[in-house]
Each structure stands twice: as C-alpha cells, then as structure tokens.
Structure 1
Amino acid sequence: MTVKALYDYEFPSADRAEVFGDDQLVYVHWRGNPLFCSAVCFRVPKDMPFAEFVTSMVHTWAASDPDFDPASVTGWRLFDEQLSGGQDKSLADLGIGHKTLLSFEA
C-alpha cells in the first residue's frame, strides 16, 4: 500500500553507518533452520577476523539450537554469492560491510 506524507520527511536513519564508528551491523541467517526463521543482527568491529566472528558471535548464537554442530557449518554466502576468502581476513577485507547479509548451512 502506498503512503503519501503530508510533509517532507527528512530524518536521517538511526542505523546509518556513520553512527557506528569503527563498528558495523552484520546480519546472519541460518538457511534451512526452522528454529531461526529470520536473520540475527550483530554489531561487530569492521576489522574483526572472519574466523573470530564465526566462533565468538555466530557459534554462540547458533548454539541455542540443541542440534547445532559447529563443525557442520558450510556454504557461507554474502547476499546471494558464495563467500570466498581466507578465514584470517577481516570482515572488511572480505567485502562484508554495514548491514550485509551473510548466510550459512549446517
């Protein structure tokens, strides 16, 4: 449904990148898991290594599913593209920016 404002709406977004400084928001979705039907959002430093992000943030969150096995995490995707790169690279080096969607299967 289209909405027409009766005045100019000129308020900056509260979650724009410059509000977060050296941090950024990263969304993570566990594809195919009915317990987590939507993505979770993490606030993380841009220079955090991907491997640290996965073990300290994603595994901790995913562990709330009793069937989660950290060794079974595969198929990382950055939006719809296969994520390629080293685990030791930072999120920024892998092209993971503010409000990016990552997804995986397990």
Structure 2
Amino acid sequence: MSVVALERYDIAARDLRENFPAPLLYIGWEDHLMICSPVCLPLPPDMPFGALATAVLPGVYGEHPDFARIDWRQVQWLKSGQPWTPDPAKSLADNGLTHKDVIRFRTPGLTGIQGSCS
C-alpha cells in the first residue's frame, strides 16, 4: 500500500548508525517461534562472526530447549532472505554486515519445540 503525504515530511531519521554505540544487527532463528521475531543487537563490527554462536546467541536463545542441540557446522545462514555463507574467522564487517542488516539462521533437524514448526 502506498502512502501519500499531505504535507512536507522533513523529519530526520533517528536510526542512523551514529546514533548507536555499535552497528545494529537483526538476528532471527528460523522455525523457533518462542522468540517470534529477529532480535536487534548493537554489535562491534570487528567482532568475529564465529563469536555469535559462542558469545552472543547463547544469551539470546539459550533458554530455548533446542539451543543446546544446535550443530553449528550444519547451520544454514540467510542474509536479507538469501542463502549466505559467512566466514566465522572474519569480522562482522569483513563478512559484509553493516548497520541494520538482517541475518537469519536455520538449524536442520530442529524445527521448534517438539517439532512445532515442521
């Protein structure tokens, strides 16, 4: 649906990179609706991508009963809805992630609590 402004719309965007302590990254876990939408985290661009699995995501998704069962070698990553293969040794920035990017991960064999999303 399109929007027609009745008057001039001169409001400065408040979600610019410089307004946050670090670039924002949206991260979602496919087929796990205990957390229904991607989380938004300010993450340093020089953080290794592999640290997501070891240092960041346990604090976000660790309470989910499937989280401990994830085989990170089998995880399928999506960036803006497209299949994507990040390098865990490279930084977030070196993997091409910038402010407000959206990534999602799919965990083959794990489809929600007791397979609720299968």
Instruction: For 1:65 and 1:85, locate their aligned partners in 2 and report how far apart those are by CA, in whole Å.
Output: 24
Residue 58 of structure 1: CA displacement? 1.5
Runs of 4+ aligned structure 1 residues displaced above 6 Å come to none
For structure 1, which runs of at least 5 residues remain unmatched after alignment? none
Structure 2's unaligned 5+ residue stretches are 108-118
Change (3 A) 1:70 1:25: farther
Q: Is the 8 A contact 2:49 2:86 kept in 1?
A: no
Q: Quick one: distance in 2 between partners of 1:104 and 1:65?
A: 15
Q: For the aligned residues, what is the CA RMSD?
A: 2.0
Q: Percent identity?
A: 32
Q: Cα 1:4–1:56, aligned 2, differ >3 Å: closer, same or farther?
A: same
Question: What TM-score, normalized by structure 1, do the two folds share?
Answer: 0.83
Q: 1:50 is aligned with what amino acid? A: F
Listed one character per residue, the Cα deviations across residues 27-82 of structure 1 (whole Å, up to 9, x for unaligned) are: 01110112122111101111111011332212221112123226434101111222
CA distance in 2, matches of 1:35, 1:14: 29
Residue correspondences, number: 105
Cross-structure match for 2:111: none
Secondary structure in structure 1 of the residue aligned to 2:104: strand
TM-score (norm 2): 0.75
